[in-house]
Structure 1
Amino acid sequence: RTNPAVRHLEPKENHAPETPQQPQGPSEGNAGEDCTFLTYTIDPDGDSVYYFFDWGDSTEDNWVGPFDSGAPVNRTHLWHERGIYTVKVKAKDMFDAESNWSESVSVTLAGPYLTLGRISGGLGLTIEIKNIGENDAKNVTVDIQTTKGFFIISNPKQLQIELIPAGGSIERKIRLWGVGFGVLTDLPKVILTAQAPDTKTRGKQVEVRLFGPLVKKLGESWCADESYNGYTLYSPMVSPKTFLINNSGGIVHSWESVYKPALSVYLLENGDLLRTAFPGFSPQFWGGGIGGR
């Protein structure tokens, strides 16, 4: 028998918050300085809401809140490198029902950008440290690491530079000592990395031959986050070899032919190498396109 004093209530249906307003904040700024963005959302059920911001960098953010539905919310972030970043935000209610992401907004940050310029051998290495960014680089350090060869020593192992102005550069001398010809061991490498607070950087790896204090530079490659996350396939113009190298300049695989190359080389999906070849000069045809086999 039903008790008329007892009422049966249907469970209330919960709804996710609306998509938050596109974050409002500065479109330009400086690396190392706080930037503040404002947003809000409405929860259809009037529940308190939490917000999660994606700052377009590698930082891990957390849900912040609770806030009243419809109340404006400010959130501050600091980026440590120059660049263009996108900011977006989503919301959830107290029952973890999430909204869609908001429209993103872009912010362009100026800042120092340290890179390596001219590098020459001789009695040690002479290196150029450049600031190609928009702001001065302060308290700069340049780390020097050596690999391979026999008993390679660098002096100093770190350079200290108080200031490199925006658009400026400075030269420094590094003394090296050791033995490395690339005969019994791989050729020695010198890895140069410049750093400074709130500064984007791009290092270099220099391959050398070394006999005592005498240094001959053979080649160099960038150490940078702009590098494609993959491999490079190339065939030197006067060599019968083809190389597949990684972003550190290391040889992953190589192929050898009896012919010099003719400008093109491809790695096919089945793993075969397709390489045009230069069979030799032809008395019937001279000029562009002479290669090909």
Structure 2
Amino acid sequence: MSGDWLTVTRGDAPLVVSIPHAGTLIPAELEPRLVSPWLARKDADWWMERLYDFAGELGATVVRTGVSRTVIDVNRDPSGASLYPGQATTGLCPTDTFDGEPLYLAGQEPNEAEIATRRARFFDPYHGALRDELDRLRGLHGKVVLYDAHSIRSRAPRLFDGELPQFNVGTNSGGSCAPALTAAVEAACDATGLPRVTNGRFKGGWITRHYGQPEHGVHAVQMELACRGYIDEPPALTLETWPTPYHPPRAAPLRAALTDVLKACLAFAQA
């Protein structure tokens, strides 16, 4: 795999958009150890880079990894500690899918040495880029918003009951940003009339929790979208049915709402 897996698109507005789970790249040497390449890509946050392709027009900086979360999940605690103790979740180098299906052939799971190698190769550079951009923009503005962009299918019974709201805002239970930013993001979501929850099943991953330090001028918020807002979701996920293509007409209202969300983030940072 070449070194072009990490993309940083710089802007000078006080907003960084992180896209940590849309990647689908898997090193060629890893594929023979997997149950299937399709299964390894099943839980990607599909088409996030397209859904948010307007962010640069707002002056935001976008940091995105092209590497599949199966290789390494850059939104997990590198210590291996669970972000949601007692609940089903996946780890730094996942060994199963959201549905509990094994990703690796028997005996082919990564050991601690391999996990450390993957961390050095992919995790550390991603977070180095995030930190560099946050520091650069803090130098320009004093206050910056880190917006962590995610999506997931509307139903994942192993992870949560029923159908997920369209907008799932996470602020580490209020610890990763000022209340005014939470309120502004909530207002932009609620204006759509679509369901929204704050700090429900998704309270923010390691990125939100690690970088969100309001007392030091970095305010972090995670947005977990139910992907029905921009693609058709099939009743069953199979090699033939998933992923479905990006659906521009379906996505248009959601993109308008997300534009308002990012503008609210900018207004907060610039106030």
Larger Rg: 1
Q: Which has the higher contact order (CA 8 A, sep 6+)?
A: 2
TM-score category, normalised to shorter length:
under 0.3
Q: TM-score, normalised by structure 2?
A: 0.21
Higher share of residues assigned helix: 2
TM-score scaled by length of structure 1 = 0.20
Point out the structure with the larger strand share.
1
